[in-house]
Amino acid sequence: MQDRWITDWPTSQRFPHYTRANAGEVLADPVSPLGWSFGWDGGIVAGYKAGLIRIGAYEDSDFNPQHPESVACFGGYFYINLSAIRMQGVRNPAATVAALDQAFFGDHPDVPAYVAHPDDEKPHLTAGIDAHTAWIMSGVAWPELDADKAKAAELRASRGDLSSYTDAQLVARARLVQSQLSHLFAQHVVSGSSAAVAPGLLGVVAEAIGEPSLPMALLSSIGDVDSADANYALWNLSRMVHNDAQLTAAFNAGLNDGLLRINSPFTAAWNEFIFEFGSRGPDEWDLRSPTWETHPQLLLAALDRVRLQTDAESPHERHREKAAQRDALIAKARIALADKPDVAPLLDLGLGAGKMMAHRERTKTSIVRVLHEARVAFRELGRRHGHDELIFQVLDSELDDYIANPSLFTNKLTQRYNEWRELFDLEPPFIIANATVAPLSQWARKDANIVKVAQAGETLSGVAGSPGIARGIARVVLDPGDPGDLEPGDILVAPCTDPSWTPLFMTSAAVVVNVGGQISHAVIVSRELGVPCVVSITDGTQRIPNGAMIEVNGTTGVVTIL
């Protein structure tokens, strides 16, 4: 194995620490060469930098012009620059590095201590930071995100029949997508970084009134969370199966494409779902990744689990119940704050800032939908030249040469694909510290990670994500397309989650995730659906025995093996 991968970046001496925290739920697997060079280097990274500058905590001189220190690629794996992200805690008078670490990285033991750098403090940025923070807390609408969402829908509607496109037209359509990535990801960075404000403000309120679980409860069921919309739509689709004897019998007989042709109402509903949500899938930030549209079996597997639920387990009802509880807690908190005039305003400011949670999911949904249009264009390009999966081994800089003579690339892409697949066997370091990346030949292998299995009576502590307590059978699921024996009332134990996992949340009594912080995707969607959730249970998928009875306390962040 070579010691560096072709898309790997140099490390930064100015911002020397990197982490897989949060990055692991964005891109769990090694990024394909086309996914990184076309999607990330080709637009997303520039948007990341622009978004960080827009929040006021950074300026252009903070960044390396060629490899802006926000993210990076090592061993083909996606990393977030921990040192650079910490500037939001250093430079924002209302934040701290410790609070930011907790929100973004959880309680992982390997996170290096913050060491100040002479260029960290930049008092001249304070006014811009304060203005941005005031905007976050105002809770005002962000109509530009609605416009972005509408444009993403228009792009999807404009696709037409890709098989009628020439090779050059397919690449041109992908380039159109690429030109939008910087703007869309800048929006996502602004919303994502701003989402950390609400837990901090509500944490002060919680401490003042002696209600430590208050922030989680008040950030539950906030509504208008786009990444939850697919779950509600899938629930409606599942009711068609659940309440139809013919469809139920067909699903019981096994999952295959024939299910999509059983009756016209179901087929029509399925096609409508795919049109609207087909861009979702595991590792959806990588162009090569399968989605519900390109690999319908993924969605069928999720639907097969959700259809088993009774009508009484509707996520709509869960949401309404949690929303009512939330409203009651707000009223209770106002009474408790009546004699605390210094703290009382923080309640409404925190609730206003909480809208950033929904904004974060909207910005992600829009960019993923746009990125998907490049994905399907490249899939068509690869299909017609016999390079179905190999197309994603092409580098952005090679695209023009590729369409000039695709057959000349076959051997190169095959060799590159085989080398890329070897990266999947490696365990990426959770933390890369002090700008030092070990050669890939020295990285640990995933099959060598031996973890002690937790025994009955043992407790595992993580980060409280979504409040509530649930008991059930632990079902360790490593792939959302293969949920195994997950049944209604079971507890989903996953390595990390993105929107392709969240249909399984509806089936589960609770969710446990290996990594994540207080604003991770698993937490936001669990709160929206009213499902208890604990994140940052290190090696949880290996420590929690599959099939064991466990208790998940989403209020305290503790998982108990019963």
The reported pLDDT for the residue numbered 520 is: 74
| Averaged pLDDT, 344-350 | 94
Q: Which residue has the higher pLDDT, 224 or 395?
A: 395
| Averaged pLDDT, 363-388 | 97
Pairwise CA distance, residues 85 & 17, whole Å: 10
The reported pLDDT for the residue numbered 81 is: 96
Which among 6, 17, 15, 14 is positioned nearest to 437, based on CA atoms? 17
Which among 480, 500, 493, 490 is positioned nearest to 541, based on CA atoms? 493
Contact assessment for residue 435 and residue 16, using Cβ atoms and an 8 Å cutoff: yes
Give the percent of the chain with pLDDT over 90.
71
The reported pLDDT for the residue numbered 349 is: 93
Pairwise CA distance, residues 193 & 85, whole Å: 9
Pairwise CA distance, residues 364 & 372, whole Å: 12
- Sign, CA torsion 540/544/545/548: negative
Judged by DSSP in three states, 25 sits in helix
Which among 476, 433, 427, 477 is positioned nearest to 450, based on CA atoms? 427
pLDDT digits (tens, 9 = 90+) for 383-410: 999 999 999 999 999 999 999 999 999 9
Domains of the chain: residue spans and CATH: 18-195+416-424 (no CATH), 459-561 (3.50.30.10)
The model's pTM: 0.90
